[in-house]
Amino acid sequence: MFLETIYILQGEIQNRQCHEERMQRTAAHFGFNAPKLPDLPALLPDKLQDTKVKCRIIYHKTIQEVSFESYLLKKITSLKLIEASVDYSFKFADRRRLNALLAQKGDYDEILVTRNGLITDTSYSNVVFSKGKQYFTPESPLLNGTKRQKLLREGVIAERIIHRDSLPEYDRIHLINAMLDIEDGISLPVCNII
């Protein structure tokens, strides 16, 4: 089973095209036709019409489950570097491997996964590093997220090889995903990455 997490703001699906493209790429890789997204705004409960909503869609050949919840921003003030060879190229509904890594965070709020010393992602987001007014995202993320794709396409961020030893070259790290953008999401100084 696969997962799409979609941001719905005041009844409007955000970044729909990137979600549909990812579902199609996933389906093509695994040999099936991607199901069409249902009419999510029509399914949205009335109490969530005027808020920031996280929609989770579990799918394979058909849509298996659709759920909605009001989105609450996590408070992240520290990241622990974890070296791992995990592969999360496709957004699987089964997150056991990522959760096992997250269990190693200790007293830190979240993990930042490295592969061979190269920065990838946190357990639930892509990352962007700021250096002055420039924004860079790791060249080899665990998952090529929809927000990351959108920001790359718009020229807001650029890909770069980022090694754990080069972190002091940057000012801040920003967590991005379908629900989080650079300017309104989670940002912390790189010195809070341990």
Q: How are strands ordered across the β-sheet holding 118-122? A: 79-83, 110-115, 118-122
Could you say which DSSP state residue 181 is in?
-
Domain boundary (25, 50, 70) is at: 70
- Rounded alpha-carbon distances, angstroms, from residue 182 to 25, 64, 138, 150, 187: 25, 31, 15, 12, 8
In terms of domains, do 124 and 31 share one? Answer: no
C-alpha span between 83 and 63 (Å, rounded):
34
User: Scanning the structure block, which residue is given the tokens 């489950």?
Assistant: 65
- pTM equals 0.93
Residue 185: the pLDDT is 79
Is the distance from CB of 194 to CB of 81 less than 8 angstroms? yes
Residue 184: the pLDDT is 81
- The parent domain of residue 170 ranges over 79-192
In terms of domains, do 85 and 49 share one? Answer: no
Nearest residue to 78 via CA among 192, 162, 185 = 192
How many separate domains does the chain show? 2
Q: Return phi, psi of residue 35, to 5°.
A: -70, 155
In terms of domains, do 27 and 9 share one? Answer: yes
Any idea how long the chain is?
194
Query: Any idea what the CATH number is for the domain that residue 46 is in?
Result: 3.30.470.10
In terms of domains, do 6 and 46 share one? Answer: yes
In terms of domains, do 51 and 90 share one? Answer: no
- In tens digits, the chain (194 residues) has pLDDT values of 999 999 999 999 999 999 999 999 999 999 999 999 999 999 999 999 989 999 999 999 999 999 999 999 999 999 999 999 988 999 999 999 999 999 999 999 999 999 999 999 999 999 999 999 999 999 999 999 999 999 999 999 999 999 999 999 999 999 999 999 998 879 999 999 99
In terms of domains, do 27 and 115 share one? Answer: no
Max Cα-Cα span within the chain: 49
Query: Any idea what the CATH number is for the domain that residue 160 is in?
Result: 3.20.10.10
